[in-house]
Amino acid sequence: MSEAYTPPCPNWRRCGGCQLQNLPYHQQLMHKQREAVRILGEFGHVEDIIGMDYPLHYRNKVHAAFGLDSRRKIISGIYQPGSHSIVPVDQCMIEDETADRIILSIRKMLPEFRIQVYDERSGSGWLRHVLVKRGFATGQVMVVLVAVSPIFKLQKPFLKKLLELHPEISTVVLNVNDRFGPVVLGKREKVIYGSGYIQDILLGKRFRISPSSFYQINPRQTEKLYSIALGFAGLSGKETVLDAYCGTGTIGLCASSQAKQVIGVEINRDAVKDAIANARVNNIKNCWFTAGDAGQYMEGLAAQGHRPDVVFMDPPRSGSDERFLSSLIKTAPGKIVYISCNIETQRRDMDILLRGGYRVEKLQPVDMFPFTNHIESVALLTRTYVRSR
C-alpha cells in the first residue's frame, strides 16, 4: 500500500492558490494531461504536457496584501478566495524567495517607521499592498508600495533601512490607490528610488518591466512556451507577422529575427510604451507597435486588403471576442498560433475559427503554473480555404 502524501504547505486549504497541492507533481501533470485531452482532444492529437524540472519558487511577481488581524497585529499575505480576509504568509513554495524575504522585512519595519496599514472597515491607515517583481536572468528587483496617499513620511530613512537589508533592490515605486475595490494598482505613481523599471532576458532578448506592465509570471517555462510557438509558426524570414494582444512585445520581438516584419497591437498604452522601449533596447528595427483594439485593427487590415502571413494571439483568460475572431477570419492569415492560458476559452474560440475555414494542426499543453489548476496551451491553426466576403 502506498504511503499517504502530505501537502508541503500548511496554508494550502485556506489560501486556495495551489488547488493541486494534494497531488505529487508527476500526478499533477497526469491530471492536467487528462484535462487537456478531454477539452481539446476533439481537435486532434494532444502532445504530452511539458512540465518543470524544478516546479518551485517560479513566480517572478509576488503580491502581498497588508492588513490587521483580530488582535490588531500587522499581517501580510494572500486574500482568501471570494473574500478580503488575508491569509498570513511569510514564505510560499511557488513564489520567488527573494520577493518573500523583502515583503517580510517591510512588514517588520512598519512599526519602527510608524507606518499604519490600511483598514478597509475604518478607511484609516496608509499601506495597502506590496508588489515585488524580479528579473530571474538579470537579478534586478522592483518593489512597489501601494498606498492611499502620495505623502510618505520618513521616506528617506525607510528607504535607507530597506536598501541596507536588501541591496539587491534596483528600484522602488510608490503607487497611489485611494479607491475601494479589488484592483491592486492605482493610476498615479512616482519613482522614489532607481529608474522605475527593471529588465529581464527572454530567449536572448532584453525586456523592460514596469509596475503595471504584463510580463510572463514563470520565465523559465515561458522560454519553452515561446520556443514551441515559434516552432509552430515556421517562419522563414519573409513573413509579415501580427502579434495580437502583444503586451510588452515579448513574443513579437522574439519572432523578429525570423520574420520580415512584426506588427504588435495592444490596448494597454503603458504596455505599448514598454514594447517600443524593448525594441529600442534590443536594436530591433523590423517591429512596429500600436495602441488599440486588436479586433478593430484587424478590421482595418481586412478592409484594406492586407493580410499578415502569421498571427500570434495570446488573449487574456476570458479568451478572444467575436469581433476579433470575425476580423481574423476575414483577414485570412495562412497560420494562426494561439497561445492560451485557459483551454476552455481556447476551445470555444477555435470552434469559431474552424467554422471560418481553419483546421487545428498541432496542440501542445505546457505547465506554466505547477500546483494550480491552470493549463497553458499552444495551438497551430492553418487556413483551409478563404471564406467569401
Answer for the pair 107, 66: CB distance below 8 angstroms, yes or no.
yes
Segments making up each domain of the chain, as ranges:
25-54+218-383, 61-202
Predicted pLDDT at 264: 96
Q: What is the mean pLDDT of each run of 10 residues along the chain (389 residues)?
A: 66 84 94 98 98 96 94 92 86 95 98 93 91 97 97 96 98 93 89 96 93 89 97 97 93 96 92 92 96 88 86 93 90 96 97 96 98 96 71
Position 40: which residue type?
Answer: L
Predicted pLDDT at 163: 98
Given the residues 15, 18, 287, 341, the one annotated as active site: 341
Active site residue 341: yes
Q: Tell me how many degrees the CA angle 50-234-311 measures, rounded to the nearest 5.
A: 90
Task: Please report, for residues 55, 189, 288, 291, the alpha-carbon distance to residue 380 in angstroms, rounded to integers and kept in the order given.
Answer: 27, 40, 24, 26
The domain over range 61-202 is classified in CATH as 2.40.50.1070: yes
Q: Look at the block and give the residue holding cell 513579437.
A: 252
pTM: 0.91
Predicted pLDDT at 386: 55
Q: Which CATH architecture has domain 25-54+218-383?
A: 3-Layer(aba) Sandwich (3.40)
Predicted pLDDT at 385: 64
